[in-house]
Chains A and B, each alone.
Chain A
Amino acid sequence: HGRRRQQERKPTQDELQQAKQRVDRFRALNSHVMDLKAKSVFTKDSLDATKRLLEQNTELHTVWNYRRTIFTSLDEWQSQDARQQMLDGELKFLLDIITKNIKSYWMWNHRMWALSSLPRPEWQRELALVAKLLALDARNYHGWDYRRFVVAQLKDAATDKYAVDIQEFAFTTEQINHDCANHSAWHNRSKLLPEILTQRDEDGQLQALQTENDLILNAIYTDPDDQNAWLYYDWLLDIQKSDADRCRLLRNKIAMIRELLELEEDSKRPLIELVSAYAELERLQSGSVLETEKKECLETLRRLEGIDPYRVGRYTDMSRTLSKQWALAA
C-alpha cells in the first residue's frame, strides 16, 4: 500500500551455512514429530516436541491438529481447573509467537479453538489484544476477522447487544478518521450498519444514513481514485428502501462526479463511475436518462480507452452492451 520494497542483498557464505544448519535441524525435528503423530503418541513430551516445531514454523497445520489432539487426550483435560491452566499457557505461547507471522491462518484458528475450549475465557482481554494488533497494522484481515469473532462472543454474553454494536461502530469511525483508505474498517462498518439501523426509528434511520453519506462523500473528495469509497457509496444506495431514493442518490452521485471532473477532467475513476451511474439510473427508471446523456456515456467510454489503455477490452465491451441496451449506435 504505497510502501517501497526493500532491496534484497545476496547472502554471505556464513549466512548460507547457518541457514543450512537451521534447515537440517528443522527437518530432523519435523520427522520426529510426524513419527510421534503416526504412532499416536499423546504425552507431555510429544506436546513439547510440537511446541518446539511450531515455534519455528507456524504454518504446519497438521502439527497444530496433532497438538490439539494431544491436549484433548491428556487426563488433565477433564478437569476444569487444569484445562484452564493449560489453555492459559497455550494463549501465552501463541502471544509469544504471534509476531513471527501475524498472518498465519492456523495460528489464529488455534487461538479461537483455545478460547472456545476455555472454561473461563476473558473476551475483554482478547478485544484489547486485537485492538493493539490493529494499531500496528490497521488493515490486517486476520485482525479484523478475529475482532468480529471476539465481538460476537462478547455480544452473546452481553445484556445490551446494541451497545456492543455501537461501540464497534465507533471503533470503525476512529479507524476511518485515522486513515480514510482503510478498506477493512469500511467493510466492518458495512456489516454493523444494518444492525444499527434496525434498532432505530424512521427519523433515526434517516439521520444515520445521512451521516454515512456525509462521511463517504468526504472520503470520495479526499481521494476520488480510491475505488473502495465508490463501492461503499453504491452499497449505501443498495440498502435504501425505495427505488426513488436510489435514483435520488444516483443523481447526487452524478452531480458530484461532474464537480470533480470540472477540476480534473481525465480522472479515470469518476469517469467510469459516471457511466455506471447513468446505466443504473436507466435500469431503475427506464427513460429517465436523456439521449444526450446516453451519448455522453458512450463518448466517455471511448475517452477511457485512451486514458486507461490497459482496460480497453472492458470499455469496448461496456460500450457494446450499453449501445444494445439503449438501442444506440455504438
Chain B
Amino acid sequence: MAPNELDGMQFDVVVFGTGLEESIIASEAAAGDKSVLHVDRNPYYGGSNACFSLSKMLEWAFCHRNCSQTPSVEVLVGGQLTDAPTFVISDVSSDQCDMDTLQRLAPFELSPECTKKLQEMLKNDRDYMIELVPKVVFCRGELTEMLISCEIGEYVQFKGVAHSYLARNGTIERIPESKEDIFASNSLSLIEKRKLMRLMTMVSDNTLYAHLLDKYGDSQFTQLLQDKFKLSGMLLDAVLYLIARVNRGDTISAREGCERVHKYVKSIGRYGRMAYLCGMYGGGSEISQSFCRLCAVSGGTYILNEKVAAIEPASENEFSVVLDHGTVRAKQIVMSPDYASTAVPKDQIVSRAICILDNTCLGADTTALASYVDDSGVVSLLYVTHSTMTVPSGQSILYAWVEGSLEETRSLLTSAIQTTIDSKASPLLSIFMETHELDVSKTESRGIVVTRAPDATVDLD
C-alpha cells in the first residue's frame, strides 16, 4: 500500500482488532450497509482469540504479545511440569519478527537436547494450531444460532466434545452426559444414575422446570442440589463444576444454577450425545475470520499489520484516526480494549497452560472437556487431538486455565494437568502465561464501543 493511501477517507465504522466480538460487530455493521474499515495491528487475524502454529506461537510470545495483557510467557521443553521453565520470554521487541525460531531462541543458550526436541517438533510446525484462548461452543447456544443464520456453519467445521471428565482426589472419572451414556456408564453407581437422570429430566421438562424455579429459585444452588436432588460427593462436584461451571467458593442462586444446567441439557442431543462443539483448525480464530470474511463480502475493508498512532474526537460526530498509511475519519469506533492507550489490567487475571503431549491420554481421536477440583480452586481443561486438526497424529494438546495469577495458581495448574494426564503421556512442550482483562478509562472510551477481552469461561457465548 502507498504511504498515504488512506488519507482523507471516511468510514461509518472503524474497528480495531480482529477478535471474535469485533469481527461480529464489523460484519453486522457491513451487513447494515455501513462502510467499515477493519484494522489489526498484528499480521494475523483473531486478536486475542488467535491461533498459531508452533513457530508462530513463539513469535507471538516474542513480538506481538501486548505487555498489559500478557506480562511474560514461560516455556518448558520436555521434562516434568514441576520443573523450572526452560526459558522465559518477557521482553517485547517487535522488530524481530519473521526470524527463524531457533535463531530467535539462541540468546537463551538451550541445551543441545532441548534444541533437538524443538527441532523435531518444528518439523511438524504446520500441524499445530495452538489457541491463545481455547473455547468451545454450546450446541444450542447463541453463537451457534448466529453461525447457522450467517451460513458460516456451512464451511467452518466442528468436532463434538464427546467426553466430559471430572478430576478430583487424584483421580479422573468420565461423567456421562446423555441418557445413553448414563445408562452405559461405569463411573456412577445405580442410585447416582437415578439422581443425575432426575436432575436432567426435571430441568429439561418445561413445566417441571418452571415449577422448580417457582418454588426454589431464590435459594442457593448448592443447597438445592443437596436437599432436593440429594447430590453429594463426585456427582455434586460434577454438576457444580463440570455442568454448571461454578467457581470454587462462589455461591450462585438456584435460578442461576438451574439456568446453566438447563442450557447444558438443552444442547445435548442436537448434534449427538454432547453439549459442546469444538472448532476445527483452531475454533475461535476460524470463527473470527469467518465473520471478517462476511464483512468483507458486504464491502468491508481489511488491513492487517496496521498500527494505530492516535484516535481523537475530531468534531461532534466524528473521530480522527491516525494510522500507518494515513489519517481517516470515522463516525463510530469499535475497539478491542488492548488498543486503548489508557487500558489498565483489571484484577481479573486468568492463568493459562498449554501442554503439548507426546501421546493421547484421554482417547486417541476425541475432544474432551475436564474440570479439576481441589481445595484451592477449579481448573478448566480442554483436550484436543488430531481429529480437530490442531495437533499431529499421535500427540495431543491439553489446555488448562484458572482465575488467578500464575504465581498463585502454578501448582494448581500443574496438579490439574498431571491428574488429567494420569501418567499416560509426557509433556513435549508446556507454555504458561497470564491473560489480563483490561479496563479502559471512561474519558477515553466516550463514544467508543469497547469489546470485552476473552474471559475464563469455557464457552464462546
Query: Contacting A260 at CB < 8 Å: which of B179, B183, B184, B194?
Result: B194
Given A180-B179, A217-B190, A218-B190, are A223 and B198 also a contact pair (CB < 8 Å)?
A: no
Interfacial chain B residues near A179, Cβ < 8 Å: 180
Check if A222 sits within 8 Å of B183, measured CB to CB.
Answer: yes
Check if B180 sits within 8 Å of A263, measured CB to CB.
Answer: no
Give A219 to B183 CA distance when docked, in angstroms.
6
Annotate B164-198 by CB proximity to A: 1 below 8 A, 0 otherwise: 00000000000000011011100000110111011
Least CB distance from A232 to B in Å reads 14
Is B230 an interface residue, CB under 8 A from the partner? yes
Is A264 an interface residue, CB under 8 A from the partner? yes
Closest to A214 in B: B190
Given A263-B195, A263-B198, are A221 and B190 also a contact pair (CB < 8 Å)?
A: yes
**Chain A interface helix/strand/loop/mixed:** helix
Closest to A181 in B: B179
Check if A218 sits within 8 Å of B193, measured CB to CB.
Answer: yes
Give A1 to B198 CA distance when docked, in angstroms.
19
Give A218 to B186 CA distance when docked, in angstroms.
10
Interface residues on A, range: 10 to 19
Check if A223 sits within 8 Å of B190, measured CB to CB.
Answer: no
Annotate A250-288 by CB proximity to B: 1 below 8 A, 0 otherwise: 000000000110011000000000000000000000000
Closest to B185 in A: A218
Least CB distance from B173 to A in Å reads 17
Is A125 an interface residue, CB under 8 A from the partner? no
Interfacial chain A residues near B183, Cβ < 8 Å: 177, 180, 218-219, 222
Query: Contacting B197 at CB < 8 Å: which of A177, A178, A217, A222?
Result: A222
Check if A178 sits within 8 Å of B180, measured CB to CB.
Answer: yes
B contact residues vs A (CB 8 Å cutoff)? 179-180, 182-184, 190-191, 193-195, 197-198, 230
A–B pairs, 21, beta carbons within 8 Å: A177-B180, A178-B180, A180-B179, A180-B180, A180-B183, A217-B190, A218-B184, A218-B193, A221-B190, A221-B191, A221-B194, A222-B179, A222-B182, A222-B183, A222-B194, A222-B197, A223-B179, A223-B197, A259-B191, A263-B230, A264-B198
A contact residues vs B (CB 8 Å cutoff)? 177-180, 217-219, 221-224, 259-260, 263-264
The 5 A-B pairs with the shortest beta carbon distances in the complex, nearest first, are A221-B190, A180-B183, A221-B194, A222-B183, A221-B193
Given contacts A218-B193, A222-B179, A222-B197, 16 further A-B contacts (CB under 8 A): A177-B184, A178-B180, A180-B180, A180-B183, A217-B190, A218-B184, A218-B190, A221-B190, A221-B193, A221-B194, A222-B193, A222-B194, A223-B179, A224-B194, A260-B194, A263-B191
